[in-house]
């Protein structure tokens, strides 16, 4: 089974494995027993994923003599709040979870962020396992250890950095994922190609139909390659202390502002797609990137079914609420060409 080992440079003992394969979830009970992750497991999932996969995962674990219970919240970004975390923590107390317990997060990025956050603070921190079930979560949100919730003032403003004990990326989950969610995740994968991997970008251009048709081989290829890129970055720069991890925010500054303006009705990957087109336009204007490259990126995003323009311009106040701001300066990630991105500090007055 393809495995990616993650070793955080600043804490070499903090290492874990990402398993990537159809049906790799079958190995979960053995993994939990062998590694003695917890004495009791809370399968934390959202209401929709619970119905499709949560109940069967619980049965599967119980059949394998693993002590587990389901806890869930209403699906959707609106649930990614401190109030939800508090409610889930109370439920865990009622269900007798303690400091020897662990959380198995089953779901998309919302469950991943909530579950990882709750695990990092429940009883001052218990272990967790990530089982991402959306394409976006498989290639992005479940990887890297960023956890957290939204505030009225913006997305992901409260959180922790907390690495899981393992990640199980089982492509089978994508079979039930609606097509717009596949396209949503593909946006982040195209982003990886632009910032770090021209071969990946070219592969997507060539195999777009297979990817959108959910063909296993094509999906596994782009997922594994994307995860490897993110892992390489976070191993060296877990906490976004250098420009390395900031590269991952390509398209995100404007994207986050658009998400917020839409009151989170615009999907993350869709917002990022528009964000990438906006930053490329600025890059061409500032002669950082050739127009030909910007056009090629725009063409792929469009062909993938992603939006490339927005009815409204992102508002400056929303751009400024981005966490990447520091004083009067803000870091912007520009692509110089497909496969190579750079970080530039821009004065806010320039916006
Ligand atoms: N922590 C990070 O580093 C990081 C990075 C990127 C994004 N994020 C966060 O991720 C979130 C978005 O994640 P998302 O797009 O996965 O959204 P999501 O978790 O809301 O999932 C999208 C929808 O798909 C459903 N779903 C999940 N798996 C399914 C499956 N296999 N089949 C059918 N339906 C399924 C969910 O119930 C939900 O309705 C945002 O909150 C964003 O901020 C975090």
Query: Tokens 């890059």 correspond to what residue?
Result: 283
CA distance 331 to 230: 19
The catalytically annotated residue of 188, 224, 238, 259 is 188
Residue 148 CA to ligand 1 center (angstroms) comes to 13
Residue 347 CA to ligand 1 center (angstroms) comes to 33
- Name the residue of 79, 107, 227 whose CB sits within 8 Å of the most ligand 1 atoms, as the mutation to test its pocket: 107
- Are 25 and 169 members of one domain? yes
- Are 144 and 185 members of one domain? no
| Pairing mode, strands 3-7 and 15-20 | antiparallel
330 pLDDT higher than 90: no
Is 263 part of the annotated catalytic residue set? no
How would residue 322 be classed by pLDDT, with cut points 50, 70 and 90? low
What CATH number is attached to the domain comprising 27? 3.40.50.1970
- Are 197 and 319 members of one domain? yes
What CATH number is attached to the domain comprising 194? 1.20.1090.10
Ligand 1 neighbours (beta carbon < 6 A): 46, 48-49, 52, 75-77, 80, 107-111, 113, 133-134, 136-137, 140-141, 144, 146, 155-156, 173, 176-177, 181, 184, 268
End-of-domain residue from the set 176, 204, 233: 176
- Are 166 and 238 members of one domain? no
Strand order in the sheet with 340-347: 325-326, 329-337, 340-347
- Are 24 and 168 members of one domain? yes
CA distance to 77, 181, 197, 262, 322, per residue, from 151 (Å): 11, 24, 34, 15, 12
- Range of 250's domain? 179-350
How would residue 70 be classed by pLDDT, with cut points 50, 70 and 90? very high
Is 124 part of the annotated catalytic residue set? yes
Is 230 part of the annotated catalytic residue set? yes
- Residue 53: count of CB within 10 angstroms of its CB: 22
pLDDT in tens, 157-203: 999 999 999 999 999 999 999 999 999 999 999 999 999 999 999 99
Q: Which two tokens stand for residue 65?
A: 């003599």
How would residue 13 be classed by pLDDT, with cut points 50, 70 and 90? confident
pLDDT in tens, 77-104: 899 999 999 999 999 999 999 999 999 9
**Range with the poorest average pLDDT among 145-154, 202-211, 325-334:** 325-334
Residue 80 CA to ligand 1 center (angstroms) comes to 11
- pLDDT at position 101, please? 98
CA 14 to centroid of chain Cα atoms:
20
End-of-domain residue from the set 137, 158, 176: 176
Which residue's CA is the closest to the ligand 1 atom numbered 13? 109
Q: Which two tokens stand for residue 2?
A: 């393809």
Number of folded domains that form the chain: 2
How would residue 128 be classed by pLDDT, with cut points 50, 70 and 90? very high
In contact, 203 and 155? CB cutoff 8 Å: no
Q: What are phi and psi of 40, to 5 degrees?
A: -150, 140
Residue 174 CA to ligand 1 center (angstroms) comes to 12
Is 7 part of the annotated catalytic residue set? no
Which residue's CA is the closest to the ligand 1 atom numbered 3? 141
- Are 26 and 172 members of one domain? yes
- Are 196 and 131 members of one domain? no
**Range with the poorest average pLDDT among 189-193, 213-217, 227-231, 264-268:** 264-268
264 pLDDT higher than 90: no
């Amino acid at each position: 089974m393809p495995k990616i080992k993650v070793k955080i440079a600043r804490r070499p003992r903090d290492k874990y494995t990402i398993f990537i394969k159809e049906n790799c979830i079958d190995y979960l009970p053995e993994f939990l027993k062998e590694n003695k992750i917890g004495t009791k497991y809370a399968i934390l999932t959202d209401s929709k994923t619970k119905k499709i996969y949560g109940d069967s995962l619980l049965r599967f674990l119980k059949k394998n003599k693993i002590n587990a219970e389901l806890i869930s919240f209403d699906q959707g970004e609106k649930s990614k709040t401190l109030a939800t975390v508090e409610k889930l923590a109370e439920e865990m107390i009622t269900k007798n979870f303690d400091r020897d317990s662990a959380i198995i997060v089953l779901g998309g990025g919302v469950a991943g962020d909530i579950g990882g956050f709750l695990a990092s603070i429940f009883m001052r921190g218990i272990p967790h396992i990530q089982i991402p079930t959306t394409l976006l979560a498989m290639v992005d949100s479940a990887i890297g250890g960023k956890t957290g919730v939204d505030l009225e003032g913006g997305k992901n403003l409260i959180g922790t950095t907390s690495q899981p004990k393992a990640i199980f990326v089982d492509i089978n989950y994508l079979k039930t994922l609606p097509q717009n969610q596949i396209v949503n995740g593909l946006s982040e994968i195209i982003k990886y190609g632009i910032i770090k991997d021209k071969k990946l970008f070219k592969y997507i251009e060539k195999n777009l139909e297979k990817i959108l048709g959910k063909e296993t081989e094509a999906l596994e290829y782009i997922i594994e390659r994307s995860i490897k890129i993110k892992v390489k970055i976070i191993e060296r720069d877990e906490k976004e202390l250098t420009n390395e991890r900031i590269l991952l925010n390509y398209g995100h500054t404007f994207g986050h502002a658009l998400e917020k303006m839409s009151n989170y009705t615009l999907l993350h990957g869709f917002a990022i797609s528009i964000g990438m087109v906006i930053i490329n336009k600025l890059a061409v204007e500032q002669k950082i990137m050739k127009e030909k490259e910007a056009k090629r990126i725009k063409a792929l995003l469009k062909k993938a079914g992603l939006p490339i323009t927005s009815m409204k311009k992102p508002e400056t106040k929303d751009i400024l609420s981005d966490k990447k701001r520091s004083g009067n300066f803000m870091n912007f990630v520009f692509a110089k060409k497909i496969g190579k991105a750079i970080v530039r500090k821009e004065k806010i007055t320039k916006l």
